[in-house]
Amino acid sequence: MNTKFLTARKITIIAVSGALIAAFPLVARSVTAEDPAPPTVGAEGATLVDGESGKSLYGKRADTPRPMASTVKIMVAYTVLDQRNLDLEREVTVRQQYRDYVAAHHASTADLQTGDKVTVRQLLYASLLPSGADAAEALADTFGTGDSLAERTRSFVGKMNAKARQLQLSETRFHTFDGTGDDTSTPAELVELTRHALQNEVFRKVVETKKYKAEAPAANGRTRYYTWTNTNQLLGAYDGVIGIKTGTTQKAGACLVFAASRDGRTLVGSVLDSDNRYTDAAKLLDHGFGSDDAKDLELSELPSDAQRD
């Protein structure tokens, strides 16, 4: 055997290996710097995306359908705001049936009073801030079609499902206007819906409002004064948060669809069935922004008479 050949070959291999060793650590360090380890969240399903591109930044069973509770009302608002020639100042008379629905389903409420005349704009605030099922029913009743309340609300839920199909949300199913039924979606599809909803200035303004005061003509001819507090305790607690919607039922657990903007960049995420939804959301936002704010998170306090959802 030619020992000179073996020696030369060995030297060549070592030289090539040395070149590879010299090159690859640079690549490895770059990947580590750009892609930090994902956070650990307790939610059964979660996702985070770039608000502009839709690029996924985190996913945990992001494509698995789950109950979504009152996050359904994101689609209620989107469906209303997508109406042609929408008149936000159109007055809607509060029916007793809206209050009866809240009582029958033990749902969150905006405490709308029978006979009051509230505007469509006010109903959007009333459904998204205190998560009023009465307000969501009023919107469904107003923008659905049919000869009875049941027919009109069923028609409106049909419109919600049509919007889901238009947005190609193939795993999203709506059965109610308030999330108390078998309404299901995936973390990823809820975020996709929210990305579209955020393109509407009215929606964005509503969901980032912490407290809203409204006046409405009352049935007795006087003026009714309403104050609605946003159930989202992440607002004001995490820098840059702009919404979006809470939701809680026994079947769905605690849910949150959230978004935050920093330095011209918006991130949108969701956590479904979480024992600590706000901390989960903050961890995901830290992951996306490259920050470390979740450890010092202090949630905004809700007034004692505010709705919890």
108 is catalytic: no
69 DSSP β-pair partners: none
CB 115 within 8 A of CB 93: yes
Out of 70, 108, 127, 274, the active site residue is 70
Q: Taking Cα atoms as reference points, which of 293, 234, 256 lies closest to residue 44?
A: 256
CB within 8 A of 41, min separation 6: which ones?
60, 271, 274, 280, 283, 284
Buried b (16+ CB within 10 A) or exposed e, 44-69: bbbbbbebeeeeebbbbbbeebbbbb
Longest dimension (CA), the chain: 110
60 is catalytic: no
CB 83 within 8 A of CB 123: no
The 3 state secondary structure assigned to 79-105 is: HHHCCCCCCCCCEEECCHHHHHHHHHH
Q: What φ, ψ does residue 243 adopt, rounded to 5°?
A: 140, -165
CB 59 within 8 A of CB 50: no
Out of 131, 185, 261, 274, the active site residue is 131
State how far the Cα of 245 lies from the Cα of 231, in Å rounded to an integer: 8
270 is catalytic: no
Which residues are known catalytic residues? Answer: 70, 73, 131
